Structure 1
């Protein structure tokens, strides 16, 4: 029997691996160079407990690791092997130097991530997670790519747009304004060139810089005109800049009868952040004449708090009537990529949506009490939100005022709040 052969082998000084191999019919466990061809079967990794899987194959390495970990072994220490990457589609390995770009971006964590993001926007994600095999990895100093020569051409074009001298810090004007009525289009339509937009309800136009300045001046004369952010920001080429203007709104979410005072219920408060978040990621072309930009905007507003009266039991066993509030929300989302000439201005209109800013007030600074009044059938914060995006060129060449407001300064409400 097999145990007798093992016992005899041990008494005769046979190596345990040889004795086991002779019994099972497999190769000696120490013969790494004698792995049979069947060991290359990728399905062999599923039999992690099979001792006959040779340790020289990738499957055997997994099996050895699983068995070693269970028995307190050393895992992969004696089962490593160099594996060649498949190149059935002619894939090649290339490394790109990112230091000329990342060394300039000192105020952003992981600036190399922007390079990866823009490559994925240009190529799509599917080509990196399907056949043929592709690898995309970035460190602060290196961009490593393994793919077909055609894909390397796309990657190289994006890479040059980051490391080129044109890719230094850009001055971008982001001006978000609102007007209560969309009738401004009547006078401005002739000076605007429409742009195709995929997001429903969103319109886009191109204007010359002179026409944009004229339109802004005319809009600012309207009594319903409001500006919601400081216009000029500094953005490293390819990086994402975020503008956030939000404020908390509290409401009574729920109630129970376990208050500290026997006759008073305990109110549970909720909070909703209303306002807007605007993200812009611009990437200049090699010659600096074209801008690619991914724009993401989110607007959330509490349209009204619907009061609901509920009965809850108190600690004394009596029923109490308590009023809670159910928030009625209005939200709007935009996430799209645009490309336009750098010497023109991109204008986006979100339509009449929830106002991204605070509630309007009258000239005395008193909030409009007629808003959200069921007798007047009005709702708060409806406006046509407009976003002007204009390139002002490189930061080193732009003529900026010495006392210009910082990027993340508070919005200027002109004394209305």
Structure 2
């Protein structure tokens, strides 16, 4: 290059604004360390954030929207590394689904299905979110509680109890702390462990009760535990035509399931001394089968047959209990479920009043303790 060309290029560079030249080099945000717990709501893989409005020029807003996703004003993109958490749940097919479910509980599904384009998806290695700053802050909080928990493993004990009646409350009612209620009058309390032991002793000694289930399970923080106990009740649900010629219609045997199903998803708080618990409790009771006579076309035998009409009750509770202290008992009353998982035939199968259960109350005792070791300092960075 001769001297005249060099001078020309130098002059041209001085006339071009610096900002225009800077656009050719993208500024990359360096991830900031979140050592310690100075900001409790910060995600494990991101720097601490404040409640101030998000600055679009800040490092927290530097993650680029994927090129195939239409740009939406006010929406921002986030990636969260969850590989450490999912590696703990080796016996789960899709452990990342628990994070998505808790994000929905925290944000509600409506915030992901509005007028603006929004994204929420998860693989075993990362959660991807595209939404406004307020919603993303809630996502940050949820992901933090999974990936940066004080403990990874919880020990859960679940007991289903059929109490003969509701009078077990007499001596312990003042020790119950109400924390929720259900649509069919279900009640939820917390109480000290020694008080729950006292309540169980009162039922066993003075009024009688039946322990339907007693299970101890270790589970990964945030995952869903399913405890189920049930029995099949056979009955004649209708008629069916036999293939053999000349028999006509015959009674058809069917099955109903009576029992209790508990789905529990406990998630530790930041401090690690209490947890939020998403609870879904279903109880089905087959109270009775009412025998009914019907006339059916038959070539052989009487035309009059008997079928059963089932009388069934169901109780459903679906809610999230917040700030349940560890090492305290969560007690749920599913209401009166007469004779659930017990015989209801009565004396000599005659169902004489006083010989069949009428006031059985279904109770669920749940205890939780932090079992796994605390997350290491490396995981908290």
Query: Do the two structures share a fold, i.e. TM-score over 0.5?
Result: yes
- Partner residue, 2:58: none
In the TM superposition, 1:115-126 aligns within 5 A as 115-126=99-110
Q: 1: distance between equivalents of 2:313 and 2:258?
A: 10
Runs of at least 5 residues in structure 2 that lack an aligned partner in the other structure = 1-65, 375-381
Larger Rg: 1
TM-superposition CA deviations, 1:87-132 (whole Å, max 9, x none): 322x211100010100010011100000000000110000001033
Verify: 1:386 aligned to 2:371, yes or no: no
TM-superposition CA deviations, 1:179-210 (whole Å, max 9, x none): 11101111111222222424331112221222
Change (3 A) 1:88 1:304: same
Q: 2: distance between equivalents of 1:372 and 1:283?
A: 47
TM-score (norm 1): 0.68
- Partner residue, 2:163: 179
- Partner residue, 2:135: 151
Contact 1:298 1:331 in 2 (8 A): yes
Contact 1:355 1:383 in 2 (8 A): yes
TM-superposition CA deviations, 1:13-72 (whole Å, max 9, x none): xxxxxxxxxxxxxxxxxxxxxxxxxxxxxxxxxxxxxxxxxxxxxxxxxxxxxxxxxxxx
Change (3 A) 1:95 1:206: same
Verify: 1:353 aligned to 2:330, yes or no: no
SS, match of residue 230 in structure 1: strand
In the TM superposition, 1:14-413 aligns within 5 A as 83=68, 85-89=70-74, 91-222=75-206, 224-256=208-240, 258=242, 260=244, 262=246, 265-315=249-299, 320-339=303-322, 340-359=324-343, 369-370=346-347, 373-376=350-353, 379-380=356-357, 382-395=359-372
SS, match of residue 145 in structure 2: helix
Change (3 A) 1:343 1:312: closer
Contact 1:330 1:354 in 2 (8 A): no
Q: 2: distance between equivalents of 1:371 and 1:246?
A: 24
Q: 1: distance between equivalents of 2:187 and 2:309?
A: 33
Runs of at least 5 residues in structure 1 that lack an aligned partner in the other structure = 1-80, 361-367, 398-417
TM-score (norm 2): 0.74
TM-superposition CA deviations, 1:357-414 (whole Å, max 9, x none): 3438xxxxxxx633974542665474111112221221459xxxxxxxxxxxxxxxxx
Q: Note the aligned Cα RMSD (angstroms).
A: 2.6
- Partner residue, 1:31: none
Q: 2: distance between equivalents of 1:106 and 1:193?
A: 37
Q: 2: distance between equivalents of 1:168 and 1:216?
A: 30
Q: Mean alpha-carbon deviation: is it higher for 199-208 or for 288-297?
A: 199-208
Q: 1: distance between equivalents of 2:241 and 2:305?
A: 10
Change (3 A) 1:263 1:206: closer
Alpha-carbon deviation of 1:162? 0.7
